[in-house]
């Protein structure tokens, strides 16, 4: 996979509401009503990730799910990160 340029990253970030850049990753935190909601959301993300064969780091707290996307094998952000972020954003 090809790393995105800084301009490409900036442009793609504007297309995925709720995501912010943190170094060589993009991160989003989604708040649910409770623990069950957080796990159900994480399960939906896992399903999308398996379909895309691209997997975020997932941190589940009581009612929050923090997702971190980066293409580790490429050493940074690729189109796959933003494609999956867009699909995850559509869940909300």
pTM: 0.95
pLDDT at residue 19 tops 80: yes
Q: What is the pLDDT of residue 92?
A: 74
pLDDT tens for 21-70 read: 999 999 999 999 999 999 999 999 999 999 999 999 999 999 999 999 99
User: What phi-psi label fits residue 76: left (phi over 0), alpha (psi between -120 and 50 degrees) or beta?
Assistant: left
Q: Is 23 helix (H, G, I), strand (E, B) or coil?
A: coil
> CATH number of the domain at 6-89, please?
3.30.1360.20
Give 86's pLDDT tier (boundaries 50, 70, 90).
very high
Q: 54, 67 in Cβ contact below 8 A?
A: no
- Residue 64, both tokens: 């929050």
* Residue matched to tokens 């989003």: 28
Give 1's pLDDT tier (boundaries 50, 70, 90).
confident
């Amino acid at each position: 996979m090809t790393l995105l340029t800084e301009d490409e990253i900036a442009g793609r970030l504007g297309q995925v509401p709720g995501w912010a850049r943190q170094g060589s990753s993009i991160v989003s935190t989604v708040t649910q009503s409770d623990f069950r909601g957080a796990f159900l959301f994480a399960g939906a993300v896992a399903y999308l990730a398996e379909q895309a064969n691209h997997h975020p780091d997932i941190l589940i707290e009581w009612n929050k799910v923090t997702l971190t996307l980066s293409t580790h094998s490429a050493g940074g952000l690729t189109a796959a990160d933003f494609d999956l972020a867009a699909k995850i954003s559509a869940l909300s």
